[in-house]
């Protein structure tokens, strides 16, 4: 059944999100059951203010996934990836890796950063494979430690990847495709 579904769907198309995509981003984040879901208002702002450094993927006209990011104001050669999500019906196809590659190419940044908790194996795999495809270094350090949060949140480790040349190897399909 899964093979039939995969064979019946066209390839993903990628575009920068527009304001009306905020709802789809929130729904994909919420459905992931892994991401820290922000308010729907935050996703609307993201689609307005950071559209140029974010992507939405569509397959057969259906929002299949997204990656949100921004160029750091104090390091404009660094793309900070905030969230990556792939809808359940579109996982195990390498979509998260392809979106990340596409966004990095469009932004032309020299470095990519993200934060990941220790228990998020899928994100750790996604970003270390991103670095490997580019023969880029990975630095990992605690950024937002648990005591900084007002709620029960695990430490977010900063992954700094780079330099990220634009030449890349073919991405391998991911087993699970959600990230923080």
Q: Give burial (CB, 10 Å; 0-12/13-18/19+) of 54.
A: buried
Rounded Cα–Cα distance for residues 26 and 128 (Å): 26
Spell out where the chain has E strands: 13-15, 55-59, 62-72, 75-86, 111-116, 137-144, 156-162, 178-179
Express each pLDDT in 26-75 by its tens digit: 999 999 988 999 999 999 999 999 999 999 999 999 999 999 999 999 99
CB atoms inside a 10 Å sphere around CB 4: 8
**Both tokens of residue 178?**
């959600």
What's the pLDDT score for residue 34? 87
Mean pLDDT in residue range 157-176: 72
What's the pLDDT score for residue 4? 42
3-class DSSP state of 87: coil
Sequence-separated (6 or more) residues with CB below 8 Å from residue 147: none
Q: Domains plus CATH for the chain?
A: 2-179 (3.40.630.30)
H/E stretch holding 4 = helix 2-8
Q: Where does the pLDDT of residue 2 fall: very low under 50, low under 70, confident under 90, or very high at 90 and above? A: very low
3-class DSSP state of 150: coil
Q: Rounded to a whole number, what is the distance in angstroms from the first to the last CA of the chain?
A: 30
């Amino acid at each position: 059944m899964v093979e039939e579904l995969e064979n019946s769907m066209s390839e993903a198309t990628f575009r920068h999100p527009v304001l009306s995509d905020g709802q789809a981003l929130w729904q994909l984040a919420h459905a992931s059951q892994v991401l820290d879901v922000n308010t729907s208002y935050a996703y609307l702002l993201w689609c307005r203010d950071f559209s140029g450094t974010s992507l939405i993927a569509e397959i057969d006209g259906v929002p299949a996934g997204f990656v949100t990011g921004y160029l750091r104001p104090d390091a404009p050669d660094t793309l900070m990836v905030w969230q990556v999500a792939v809808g359940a019906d579109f996982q195990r196809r390498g979509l998260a890796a392809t979106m990340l590659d596409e966004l990095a190419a469009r932004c032309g940044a020299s470095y990519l950063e993200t934060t990941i908790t220790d228990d998020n194996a899928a994100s750790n795999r996604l970003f270390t494979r991103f670095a490997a495809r580019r023969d880029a270094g990975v630095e990992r350090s605690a950024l937002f430690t648990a005591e900084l949060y007002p709620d029960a949140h695990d430490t977010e480790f900063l992954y700094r990847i780079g330099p990220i040349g634009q030449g890349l190897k073919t991405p391998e399909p991911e087993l699970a495709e959600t990230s923080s």
